[in-house]
Structure 1
Amino acid sequence: MLKVIAACGNGMGSSQIIKMKIAKIFKKLEIEVSIHHTSIGEAKSQASGYDVVFCSEALKSNFKRAEDGGTIVIGLKNLLSEQEIEQKIVEHIVNKK
């Protein structure tokens, strides 16, 4: 099971939306996941304990340390685009297995 964290500025609205969207796509792709959503500050300190981090493209640089440690960090340009989310999951997770 993949441990996934969805992060946004305050850990409220956007991260909850990302969580719902990525859960839908992982289910479609039949990948078992555990998803947590939180603020960028909390996610930054916890990211190395997760397999994958989802955030907006603008916040991706906050996770350089986790990425260097092997965590997959996926930046999204459009947080509402299931097509973009699916494409990035396939590119960064499915095709890397």
Structure 2
Amino acid sequence: MKILAVCGMGFGSSLMLKMTADRVIQKKGIQAEVEATDIGTAESVQADLILTNNEFASQLEGGRSAVKAIMNMASEDEVAKAIDEFLEETNK
């Protein structure tokens, strides 16, 4: 599974979100690659799941990747919930 952590420039909040997602997938034992990127690049990268803030989530929805909005980039609980929701939706 490929997860994109997306912010405006690709090296601020997306890096924080990537580190949080890395911790979550490691704890859950999920095989996934997490990449931090900017909003412009995100639209052209093939990914299963995009994690981002509310503003960028609305811009990225409707593409080929599932999109989940994260309010607190450092919250493992919030990121875990988003990943769990994605996995439930894809396993239906």
With the length of structure 1 as denominator, give the TM-score of the two structures: 0.84
Matching of residues 17-96 of structure 1 within 5 Å: 17-46=16-45, 49-66=46-63, 69=64, 71-93=65-87, 95-96=88-89
More helix by share: 1
How far apart in 2 are the matches of 1:14 and 1:86?
17
Q: List alignment gaps of at least 5 residues for structure 1.
A: none
Task: Please state whether the residue corresponding to 1:50 is helix, strand or coil.
Answer: coil
Cα distance in structure 2, aligned partners of 1:4 and 1:75: 13
Q: Please state whether the residue corresponding to 1:45 is helix, strand or coil.
A: coil
Aligned length: 90
Distance 2:48 2:86 in 1: 11
CA RMSD of aligned residues (A): 1.3
8 Å CA contact 1:8–1:38 kept in 2: the answer is yes
Segments of structure 2 that go 5 or more residues without pairing to the other structure are none
Q: Which runs of 4+ in 1 moved over 4 A?
A: none
Residue number in structure 1 paired with 2:11: 12
Per-residue deviation, 1:75: 0.7
Q: Give the AA of the match of 1:10.
A: M
